[in-house]
Chain A
């Protein structure tokens, strides 16, 4: 019987099967940040197990609260910093070199097709954009990953989401994934893997694919996988050119993890890209999605452009294109947070920062901060935020605040208008 991508990766990594449905996998990567790792580190220390399975496979970053905002977050950073030094973990990104984990780790070339990756962060599914099996886990799974290099998963079922055709102008990966979550619901892919297939997905760059995979977990999925192709290889080429004689050879190797033609899917969802429009969330669940036109006129207090979903260079380019020569509406504030220092530098070099600052935006250093209401843009009760992030849960960006999730284009247009509105890049006229 044919195998899905996740099944092929599981087959290549299985070290134990304690019962037929449970597969213990060896891990190629364990990613760590300063919020969920310190408690694992402290537990390892207290129980006399302060070891790591392989320092070269562990990558760490301070990103959630950066720089530290108070003594507690300073201690979290210090715990991680001391630990990486103690164990010789070389790939550690401290204040100044740090970016949002799911942007900086791919950017550094750490993610490859066919890998197994865990991190104490639910949006680890982002790395599925490279054809890897990447899953968010809790602190205990992380602790065992650090110590033993293994993690247990249920044998995965897979949903195939096939997007054919061409996205209309002004409709982006964010609109696509929000539309998919609306159709699947927040419980529709629970415990399953999603494969994103079709020519509309293949046409996306890596930034767009990461946006897509990033929100797979909002439908409950363990991982959202895009198929490795020439676009993937091109992105990875600076990091893999010593491993392969040619791009074609790299692609041939990575193609081992493409699904078989007769792979078994629990469900196949077919979407016509042409029918999509810009969308945004309402209320407190990411599957509560409406066309932006239906929300037109909704007043906002804050706009946030950034995060592991939409803080990459393609996102900033689109937002800047919409904001160029314009100014924020009166009474609206806008925070732009490039997801990594490299993205920040590119945005500077391309003049995007000038556009944002001329428009009256606050540009911050890379951090997760505002997305989860921890720092750098927390909402007051009753405030409304148009946001390019991934969760609109009650209180997510601050107690009593309301978050509308949307694409960078829609967010930028909303910042200029002061109310939720379609960007001028969308010509659909709905």
Chain B
């Protein structure tokens, strides 16, 4: 099972699409590892620099409809290559969300007001998040504050995370 803890990268925008996460011109790469330098290269977000802002971060917190657009699984792969196994958002595009769980990664949905609070309290601090998959909580610490957020994960999604993805799960079961 992957790690779901670490420092948070806050992306304060809705509808971040998979072309922004990994532009199509890189889809000709034959390996996942080759994608690494291009993560979030075309993201439109004021003040954001993909060459500078990803370093040392392992969790993304963002707004609504993250991962909309293309079906490219290169989007979760490029996040994984850069150490991100967990994205927290108000909601996700269906294909992106499924791709995350299919890779044994987590796309967790929290209500808009909880996301708002995370941005208000922790964006701009050196915030760190710890996931407890048993209790189903995220604990965020930063700027002298700590908050714990409950999240839900379906039993099927959790099995995919524990199995390390859909191929391993399906190969056993079907």
State how many angstroms separate the Cβ of A193 from the closest Cβ of chain B: 11
State how many angstroms separate the Cβ of B38 from the closest Cβ of chain A: 11
Q: Are B65 and A187 in contact (CB under 8 A)?
A: yes
Q: Taking the complex as formed, is A36 at the interface, i.e. its CB lies under 8 A from any CB of chain B? A: yes
State how many angstroms separate the Cβ of B63 from the closest Cβ of chain A: 10
Stretch at the interface among A144-152, A197-205, A291-299, A404-412: A144-152
With a cutoff of 8 Å between Cβ atoms, the chain B residues found around residue A391 in the complex are 19, 69-70
Q: Are B30 and A140 in contact (CB under 8 A)?
A: no
**Bound-state Cα–Cα, A358 to B42, Å:** 38
With a cutoff of 8 Å between Cβ atoms, the chain A residues found around residue B137 in the complex are none
What is the size, in residues, of chain B's interface with A at 8 Å between Cβ atoms? 45
What range describes how many residues of A lie at the interface?
A: 35 or more
State how many angstroms separate the Cβ of A127 from the closest Cβ of chain B: 14
Q: Are A152 and B23 in contact (CB under 8 A)?
A: no
With a cutoff of 8 Å between Cβ atoms, the chain A residues found around residue B156 in the complex are 18-19, 22, 152
Q: Taking the complex as formed, is A83 at the interface, i.e. its CB lies under 8 A from any CB of chain B? A: no
| Binary contact track B71-105/A, C-beta < 8 Å → 1, others 0 | 11100100000000000000111110111001100
Closest to B19 in A: A393
Closest to A371 in B: B24
30 contacts between A and B (CB under 8 A): A16-B174, A19-B155, A19-B156, A21-B154, A35-B27, A42-B30, A70-B28, A72-B28, A75-B30, A76-B28, A124-B71, A137-B95, A137-B98, A138-B71, A138-B102, A140-B165, A148-B171, A152-B166, A186-B65, A187-B15, A187-B64, A191-B94, A220-B65, A220-B93, A220-B94, A393-B19, A393-B69, A394-B44, A395-B20, A395-B23
List the interface of chain A (C-beta within 8 A of B): 15-16, 18-19, 21-22, 24, 35-36, 38-39, 42-43, 47, 49, 64-65, 70, 72-73, 75-76, 120-122, 124, 135-141, 143-144, 147-148, 150, 152, 154, 186-187, 190-191, 220, 222, 284-285, 372-374, 391, 393-396, 399
List the interface of chain B (C-beta within 8 A of A): 14-15, 17, 19-20, 23-25, 27-30, 32, 42, 44, 64-65, 68-73, 76, 91-95, 97-99, 102-103, 154-156, 159, 165-167, 170-171, 173-174
Given A21-B154, A49-B171, A391-B19; 9 other pairs, CB 8 A cutoff: A16-B174, A36-B71, A36-B73, A124-B71, A138-B102, A147-B167, A374-B28, A393-B17, A395-B42
